[in-house]
Amino acid sequence: MRKYITEKDLFDFVFFPELLSTEKLSYLKNSDEFSDEIAFFTELKNSLRAEISREETELISQKIPAYRPAEIIRLFPVEHPKKRKVNGLILAAASENNNKPTVTSRTFYDDNKTYIIKVINYENSCKIFVFSTQYEVIKNFDLVITPNNTRYHIDDNTIPLELDHNVNPESITLEFNLIKQS
């Protein structure tokens, strides 16, 4: 059976075992003949799962001009103290809210306070505004809302992202440089 095992079979054994025939899969599981090769591909697979640090990414982009890493900026909510009075009135628990529409908003900042995102939830819809503190138009980026990891592509921030449902993000990520550079 050894002469029928190719390098591609060894690769598939580690990465895509479902692509191998049952005979080859059984042979590779029970044999030590290819242990060095399988160990190599296993180590390769594990290294692909490891995160690349920002420093390593910058070094790669300096050495390979065609490579430009995506810039990822995480924004977190700013917690404001809650007010207990509504227009100077304290309402009892059973009081009605006079049929006023429910509107809530949250503000998100990045660590450098370069970007501000305002999420405004209406009764059945939502608007998400993206601002730059540099007063610039932000173009061609993705907005990712966590914890659901819902991704929206935005051409520019001159108009808000409008959704037909409410969102309650824990954090928001902006991802730039989405166009492959050549």
Along the 182 residues of the chain, how does pLDDT read in single tens digits? 778 899 999 999 999 999 999 999 999 999 999 999 999 999 988 888 777 776 777 777 777 766 666 688 899 998 765 555 555 555 555 555 555 668 999 999 998 888 999 999 999 999 999 999 988 899 989 999 998 889 999 999 999 999 999 999 999 999 986 544 44
Say yes or no: 78 and 112 in one domain: yes
Residue 115 has a pLDDT of: 93
Residue 65 has a pLDDT of: 67
Q: Which domain holds residue 15?
A: 2-50
pTM comes to 0.54
**For the chain, what is the domain count?**
2
Structure-token pair, residue 104:
């809530």
Query: Is 12 a member of any domain?
Result: yes
How, if at all, do strands 115-121 and 104-109 pair?
A: antiparallel
Q: Could you tell me if 47 and 16 are in contact, meaning their C-beta atoms sit under 8 angstroms apart? A: no
Which residues lie across from 150 on neighbouring strands? 145
- Alpha-carbon gap, residue 28 to 41, rounded angstroms: 13
Say yes or no: 43 and 76 in one domain: no
φ, ψ dihedrals at 20, nearest 5°? -85, 150
Which residues lie across from 42 on neighbouring strands? none
Say yes or no: 43 and 79 in one domain: no
Residue 172 has a pLDDT of: 95
Say yes or no: 78 and 37 in one domain: no
Contacts of 66 (CB under 8 A, 6+ apart): 181, 182
Selection from 153, 151, 161, 103 nearest residue 131 by Cα:
161
Say yes or no: 113 and 26 in one domain: no
Say yes or no: 135 and 167 in one domain: yes
Helix (H) or strand (E) holding 29: helix 22-30
Residue 182 has a pLDDT of: 40
Query: Is 181 a member of any domain?
Result: no
Residue 2 has a pLDDT of: 79
- Alpha-carbon gap, residue 125 to 164, rounded angstroms: 4
Selection from 67, 78, 1 nearest residue 34 by Cα:
1
Question: Strand, coil or helix: what is 7?
Answer: helix
Query: Is 59 a member of any domain?
Result: no
Neighbour tally for 51: CB within 10 Å: 7
Residue 68 has a pLDDT of: 61
